[in-house]
Structure 1
């Protein structure tokens, strides 16, 4: 366990390398703070012994002024120490968070199929904030406290070694209590982090799916589940509170008993006329004991903050070290494709041993529009996922213009493929930014011209702020059809070589469907297009229709070829939907 913690801390410290100068200054200010803090009690001793007891007024004023100057330097050192330590911590976690988000963004879709969104949010936000505490409330504070204790002990031994030995007798007891407390708190913190992740996951899923919760009257059931998870979270924190409630009173008791013993021993020696202790020593040691015991007591708490940060870093680096990345061995920069597609004996399974695509062969001519139809689960959308390399095929080959898609760089490949999905995802941003996705190469003028070209400009301008209208989270301010139109425009302005429409008209009203058909005719012209549709009436003019069933291509041809095939799969599917409209 110790080796694991050390390794995690080393990994975090790797991110501190760009900030070496700031790191050094934090240590310098920690040293200065320790020295100034230890000097003030010593000056107090000198003031009492040399000037107060001897009623030396002018010297007293000089020493008071000197103590005030030391205080100013101590306060300044503390300010810069705390400010720079927190600044350094925040810059480090900024870098870690950026690297983590970039790493997660490059994961294969299979990872997201199995990982809860709430847990990823916890890792990216809350766990990384805990890493910041390694610097702001953990490592540097511990270093500062240890330096302060070391300097204080040196000054104490210099002033009065006998009184210092009395203080030292109590320290092993406090160190032992601190160690036990630290071990107990470690387990409590691990439980807290686990329960926080569970709580985040539950809330994320229920808030996102609140419509389903309310639609099926699940409010009470989900509320009871939440109470159970929240109670476990509360119980985890109760352990934390219990251990704190036990430790700190014990630490305070040890400190006060030591102080009482020092005062008794020192006062007795003074009353007996012994020279081993002075009045100034007692004043200084009352101060010193607080400076020695308070940091020792608080180090346990700071160790816990640091430990919590290290536990969080374990979780973060576990993600950073995951080998879930999409294979990016391709070196060819994809230019504008002609659009000839070929699937050669392609096989794929989401779960090992359960094939979803079972050795399909498919050729698509450049510039052609093909439609893929079939029952739910036939493998239609999976083909699209494989073409975009969201998943890696088990065997076979997929090529564009005769080149294996694995030979293209992933970014350039996806740049040439535009997709309009059934479930359109919009950001809580303006329509313009949802269309361009903040791509600086796409100007506002380009977007407006594209919108006019496919017939959606008037719809956008009918909204309160036109292209600057904020659609809110997931585009809730727009209807399904309006979201689809935005998705069509988003695909169109990217000028892809290949266009994919995945169930793009399956859940919209008739008026929106007419607009989308107009947009479809415009954006599919001159480019290879793949249309996946449940509404067979929307694909009767496709150059070729591919019929899939259980991961296999069972039929292919034009609408009229397939509709006239005796006992054909497509014919039965078509008549089951449009018997009244059948010729």
Structure 2
């Protein structure tokens, strides 16, 4: 837990103020019993009214000073705690944003939400208590013992029995409670997971009439959390009665033996009153410590979970200057494209290349949007078989490359390697002739317009969602992107048009409308590379055909990669890649693959009639 307090550095000055103010407050509380003893011993016993008034007014002044310092300490401690919570949430969120999909898969979305909210709140609350109690409790305990001994050393021997009993009770109860607090946080994770699945999947749950099943799942997760919470509260509930029992027994012992010492003339009445107040302060300081022992274990478990997130380094990260992910063998996009057009090695061949440039065969290629897979293989963590294996192909600017295959053949995994959602296990993925691992992620993804398999929209207006691809896009560009994506018609039918609100997750629009808005979001970006991951599946054939025709005119100079299940979507592509069991089973045009690829023929015959094929 100490490790996480490194984020308190920006709040050092107000933290110092809190410590000083709590110190002054503790001094005022320690001084008041002595003043009370003086009033009794020198004012009440002797009947000196003026002395009582004088010391009484001074006591009020000291008490008022204690109130002021207490209020100021509360103000500064609140500012430190809330500021710390804000900083920590920001650090966790920004760190999680850099995670690759592998880290998200490992930690889980529900757990990350719990850690960013519930766990940080637990730490924030404990920090607020610690700034007050962890400073004042030791001061009151140590100061109280010293002041009590100054009143009567013999009577102070009662603390030799009381303090070990208190410490033993605190350690015993806390030792049983700490493991349970760790379990509670895991149970909260589970509850959040079930709740999140139940709310986001409500349509599926109702359509399959599984409402009762989900209610039972939630009930079990809720019961497990409740059971553990009751168990830990039973353990911690024993602490306060134990503290109060020791406190009351101690008070009786002090009054009993104090009375005997007063009868013997060894102690004044005022000193006994002061001694009793100091004893109460000492006891309450241990009660404060016991409360901390209730809170700190839970916060400690939360701190471990937060540190686990912050200590998780993203496997996909930008390289340091001068560092190379792997030897690409290519210095630029021009090198890669010259390789495509007839040159595989340039060392000591400059003259030959210059002659080739002057020949009629040479075609000046675009340097933007070139994508190449060079013997690429990738496996998900813990998987027994590679998701893709031995993949080699090139996607050129101005061409449409389509990827088709059965479910689980590796299509989505393949295109996820281009924007570095995952890093390749073997081989290289090149964009503009550079290994994607050598490019800064921001620069790489700025080249790509990605439309995911599952269309995701954000709360806000339709225009906001389209402009998500390019914040600087004008209204005309937004409308143009919507027009190409075939979204203009349904947008114009909405009451507020482009300012119509999109609800959470886009639940107030259909699946086809969500896909078209996702496509418009990619189009407004005007990237070098377009990647469509089965992005036309929710569209009818007519809209699909119109959209592809409009896209062809818009993306003529860019590299277009389409993953699709429909043959009608890919048949006009310049290059079709057929995936089967994680490998390329065929590559070519529609006509070429009909003749050469049995896998492709099987897909075609399952979807098209003989007339359509002909």
Q: TM-score, normalised by structure 2?
A: 0.87
**CA RMSD after TM alignment:** 2.6
Q: Flag the 1:154–1:438 CA change in 2: closer, same or farther, 3 A.
A: farther
Match of 2:516 among 447, 471, 485: 485
- Residue pairs, 1:250-399, within 5 angstroms: 250-270=242-262, 272=263, 274-329=264-319, 338-350=368-380, 351-399=382-430
Work out the CA distance in 1 between the residues paired with 2:597 and 2:237. 79
Is this contact kept in 1: 2:544–2:569, CA < 8 A?
Answer: no
Match of 1:551 among 575, 582, 605: 582
Work out the CA distance in 2 between the residues paired with 1:444 and 1:76. 57
Q: Flag the 1:339–1:68 CA change in 2: closer, same or farther, 3 A.
A: same
Moved more, 485-494 or 424-433: 424-433
Work out the CA distance in 1 between the residues paired with 2:57 and 2:39. 11
Is this contact kept in 2: 1:33–1:77, CA < 8 A?
Answer: yes
Q: In the TM superposition, what is the alpha-carbon distance from 1:512 to its structure 2 partner?
A: 5.0
Q: Look up the match of 2:533.
A: 502
Is this contact kept in 2: 1:133–1:306, CA < 8 A?
Answer: no
Work out the CA distance in 2 between the residues paired with 1:337 and 1:37. 77
Is this contact kept in 2: 1:418–1:499, CA < 8 A?
Answer: yes
Task: Tell me the alpha carbon deviations over residues 497-535 of structure 1, each in whole angstroms, 9 at most, x when there is no partner.
Answer: 100111111123456546644553354232110111112
Runs of 4+ in 1 over 6 A off after TM superposition: 332-336
Q: Look up the match of 2:169.
A: 177
Q: Look up the match of 1:3.
A: none
Q: Look up the match of 1:4.
A: none
- Residue pairs, 1:159-198, within 5 angstroms: 159-198=151-190
Is this contact kept in 2: 1:482–1:512, CA < 8 A?
Answer: no
Work out the CA distance in 2 between the residues paired with 1:144 and 1:305. 17
- Residue pairs, 1:400-411, within 5 angstroms: 400-411=431-442
Task: Tell me the alpha carbon deviations over residues 58-87 of structure 1, each in whole angstroms, 9 at most, x when there is no partner.
Answer: 332332222222122111222222332232
Gap regions ≥5 residues in structure 1: 1-7
Task: Tell me the alpha carbon deviations over residues 397-422 of structure 1, each in whole angstroms, 9 at most, x when there is no partner.
Answer: 22123222222111110111111123
Work out the CA distance in 1 between the residues paired with 2:307 and 2:17. 28
Task: Tell me the alpha carbon deviations over residues 99-126 of structure 1, each in whole angstroms, 9 at most, x when there is no partner.
Answer: 2222222222123334432212122211
Is this contact kept in 1: 2:481–2:524, CA < 8 A?
Answer: yes
Moved more, 49-58 or 417-426: 49-58
Q: Look up the match of 1:469.
A: 500
Q: In the TM superposition, what is the alpha-carbon distance from 1:571 to its structure 2 partner?
A: 3.3
Match of 2:201 among 209, 213, 219: 209
Moved more, 23-32 or 515-524: 515-524
Q: Look up the match of 1:527.
A: 558
Q: Flag the 1:187–1:253 CA change in 2: closer, same or farther, 3 A.
A: same
Is this contact kept in 1: 2:151–2:275, CA < 8 A?
Answer: no
Q: Flag the 1:54–1:402 CA change in 2: closer, same or farther, 3 A.
A: same
Match of 2:149 among 142, 145, 157: 157
Work out the CA distance in 2 between the residues paired with 1:442 and 1:229. 46
Q: Look up the match of 2:237.
A: 245
Work out the CA distance in 2 between the residues paired with 1:172 and 1:85. 31
Q: Look up the match of 2:351.
A: none
Q: Look up the match of 1:72.
A: 64
- Residue pairs, 1:63-142, within 5 angstroms: 63-138=55-130, 140-142=132-134
Q: In the TM superposition, what is the alpha-carbon distance from 1:324 to its structure 2 partner?
A: 3.8
Is this contact kept in 1: 2:102–2:422, CA < 8 A?
Answer: yes
Q: In the TM superposition, what is the alpha-carbon distance from 1:130 to its structure 2 partner?
A: 1.8
Moved more, 17-26 or 318-327: 318-327
Q: Flag the 1:36–1:433 CA change in 2: closer, same or farther, 3 A.
A: farther
Q: In the TM superposition, what is the alpha-carbon distance from 1:443 to its structure 2 partner?
A: 5.1
Task: Tell me the alpha carbon deviations over residues 331-354 of structure 1, each in whole angstroms, 9 at most, x when there is no partner.
Answer: 699999621222121112224541
Work out the CA distance in 1 between the residues paired with 2:12 and 2:531. 50
Is this contact kept in 1: 2:144–2:279, CA < 8 A?
Answer: no
Q: Flag the 1:513–1:151 CA change in 2: closer, same or farther, 3 A.
A: same
Work out the CA distance in 1 between the residues paired with 2:332 and 2:123. 40
Work out the CA distance in 2 between the residues paired with 1:105 and 1:433. 21
Work out the CA distance in 2 between the residues paired with 1:130 and 1:337. 53
Q: In the TM superposition, what is the alpha-carbon distance from 1:167 to its structure 2 partner?
A: 4.0
Q: Look up the match of 1:575.
A: 605
Is this contact kept in 1: 2:377–2:424, CA < 8 A?
Answer: yes
Is this contact kept in 1: 2:39–2:270, CA < 8 A?
Answer: yes
- Residue pairs, 1:49-64, within 5 angstroms: 49-64=41-56
Is this contact kept in 1: 2:39–2:52, CA < 8 A?
Answer: yes
Q: Look up the match of 1:5.
A: none
Residue 145 (1) aligns with residue 127 (2): no
Q: Flag the 1:132–1:307 CA change in 2: closer, same or farther, 3 A.
A: same
Q: In the TM superposition, what is the alpha-carbon distance from 1:27 to its structure 2 partner?
A: 1.1
Work out the CA distance in 2 between the residues paired with 1:445 and 1:578. 39
Gap regions ≥5 residues in structure 2: 323-330, 334-365
